[in-house]
Chains A and B, each alone.
Chain A
Amino acid sequence: MFRVDCSRLRFLVIDDNGYMRRIIRTLLHGFGTREVFEAEDGAAGLESFATHLPDVVITDWSMPVFDGIELTKMIRQPDTSPNPFVPIIMITGYAERNRVFEARDAGVSEMLVKPISAKGLYQRIAKVVLNPRPFIRTDTYFGPDRRHLVKADAYKGRGAAASFLKGPSAG
């Protein structure tokens, strides 16, 4: 069984609400993380993303000017983004089904509906680190496989990836 050593990860937290940033930072430090960068809107977040190259991005959805969905779409630009594969955890007050689909279609890796808890946040981090979904690239989409329930096993035995995926570290 594995767990995540958060002290080895660099996080970028993007939220326009200073209190929420403080809560997330506190939780991350509690998990052992040392490197937490913050930005207060999507534009500043994108700049910070390019500067600090975080391992995991945690962003709010609703932000003025440049929201979490737009930020995600910018990060998931395979030809221009410094790391289009970075896991993006979206923290939001929106729990409606259509909102979840919208986030998924933008390329969000995991969603966490407020109120935020230590366990909920840790579980999302563990999921993107230990069991990342494969990425899909089509003419109209670049991001994590949107079929949440499909595991990498589904691709086993298909083409050159077969031996790679059958290894012990298959995610």
Chain B
Amino acid sequence: MTNRDTPVEDSVPNTIEQDFGDTRVIHLSGTLRAKAAVRSADAGGVDDLSIAAAESAMKDLSGDFQNWMGDEVNRLIAAFDEYRSKGPAERDIANLFRAAHDIRGQATAFGYPLAAEIAGSLAKLLDKIEPDYLPTQLIAHHVDAVRAVYRSQIRDYANPVAVQIIHNLKKAIDRCVEARAKAVAEEQKFARGR
């Protein structure tokens, strides 16, 4: 505890239940608060010092991000190679989706926001369309784009070619997802009418 804090004179851990017939409401006030809340002079209750310390720790870690991003890109490429090497009946998109999903979540933190956006677009395609209807060529374009962004070290939106490619890939995905949704609706309509 620092000298800007004073201990909380909070209640002991306690719960109380209210019965509303088929619903019970359980109040936990004073459990974790009693353990970890401290009075602070900081305005708004935001602990700027802790946040700054965490950001500083992240900065120390950031020297590794380049290699980590490389590992994630290689994982995506390997997952796509595996996907492409198998026949349609044997294809499993789980690894490919996980690799794309992880890049979507992490690449911005690693300094590659464009790669995150492209991988997000790919993850959307893999999530929304059944494996039998996935367009392999469009997946390949996404994997190539992520690889190119990483290899060319494109880290911001100042590169007009990269931005245009992202725009086009997103449009292609939206068209594809929309077309499949329409086809599914038609199939369902047809099945109901039989």
* Residue A148, interface by CB 8 Å: no
Contacts of B46 in A (CB 8 A): 3, 119, 122-123, 126
Q: Is A52 an interface residue (CB 8 A)?
A: no
- Assess A155 versus B25: contact at CB under 8 Å? Given A30-B54, A167-B11: yes
The answer to whether B101 and A1 touch across the interface, beta carbons within 8 angstroms, is no
Task: For the complex, give the distance between the alpha carbons of A55 and B17 in Å.
Answer: 21
B170 CB to closest chain A CB (Å) equals 15
A161 in contact (CB, < 8 A):
yes
Interface string of A35-65 (1 = CB under 8 A from B): 0000000000000000000011000001010
Query: Chain B 48-90 against A: per-residue CB contact (8 Å), 1 yes, 0 no?
Result: 0011011111100100000010011000000000000000000
Given contacts A126-B45, A138-B22, A164-B16, contact A118 B11 (CB under 8 A): no
State how many angstroms separate the Cβ of B162 from the closest Cβ of chain A.
Answer: 19
The interface bits of chain B over 1-40 (1 if a CB of A lies within 8 angstroms of the residue's CB, else 0) are 1000100101100101111001111111111111111111
Chain B residues whose C-beta falls within 8 Å of the C-beta of A56 in the assembled complex: 32
Contact B72 A1 (CB under 8 A): no
Contact at A55–B25, with CB atoms within 8 Å? no
Chain A residues positioned under 8 Å from B32 (CB to CB): 9, 55-56, 87, 128-129, 132
Chain B contacts of A164 at CB under 8 A?
14, 16, 27, 29
Chain A residues whose C-beta falls within 8 Å of the C-beta of B44 in the assembled complex: 1
A115 and B116 within 8 A (CB): yes
Q: Which of B24, B55, B116, B120 contacts A137 (CB 8 A)?
A: B24
Q: How many residues of A contact B (CB 8 A)?
A: 61
Residues of A with C-beta under 8 A to B28: 85, 132, 134-135, 171
Instruction: Determine chain A's interface SS by DSSP, over half rule.
Output: mixed
State whether A132 and B51 are in contact (beta carbons under 8 Å apart), knowing that A64-B94, A93-B123 are contacts in the complex.
Answer: no
Q: Could you tell me the distance in whole angstroms from the C-beta of B172 to the nearest C-beta in chain A? A: 20
Per the 8 Å Cβ criterion, residues 68-126 of A in contact with B are: 85, 87, 92-93, 114-116, 118-119, 121-123, 126
Q: Which residues of A contact B35 (CB under 8 A)?
A: 8-9, 55
Contact A137–B26 (Cβ < 8 Å): yes
Partner of B30 from A1, A4, A137, A171 at Cβ < 8 Å: A171
Asked whether A2 lies within 8 Å of B45 as measured between CB atoms, the reply is yes
* Docked CA distance A17–B54 (Å): 20
- Chain A residues lying within 8 Å of B26, measured Cβ to Cβ, are 85, 134-137
Q: Could you pull out 30 A-B pairs where Cβ atoms are within 8 angstroms?
A: A1-B44, A2-B8, A2-B45, A3-B42, A4-B47, A5-B36, A6-B36, A9-B32, A9-B35, A20-B106, A22-B61, A23-B58, A30-B54, A30-B58, A31-B54, A55-B35, A56-B32, A64-B98, A85-B28, A92-B105, A93-B120, A114-B105, A115-B108, A118-B54, A126-B45, A126-B47, A129-B36, A130-B37, A132-B33, A161-B17
Residues of B within 8 A of A (CB): 1, 5, 8, 10-11, 14, 16-19, 22-47, 50-51, 53-58, 61, 68, 71-72, 94, 98, 101-102, 104-106, 108-109, 116, 120, 123
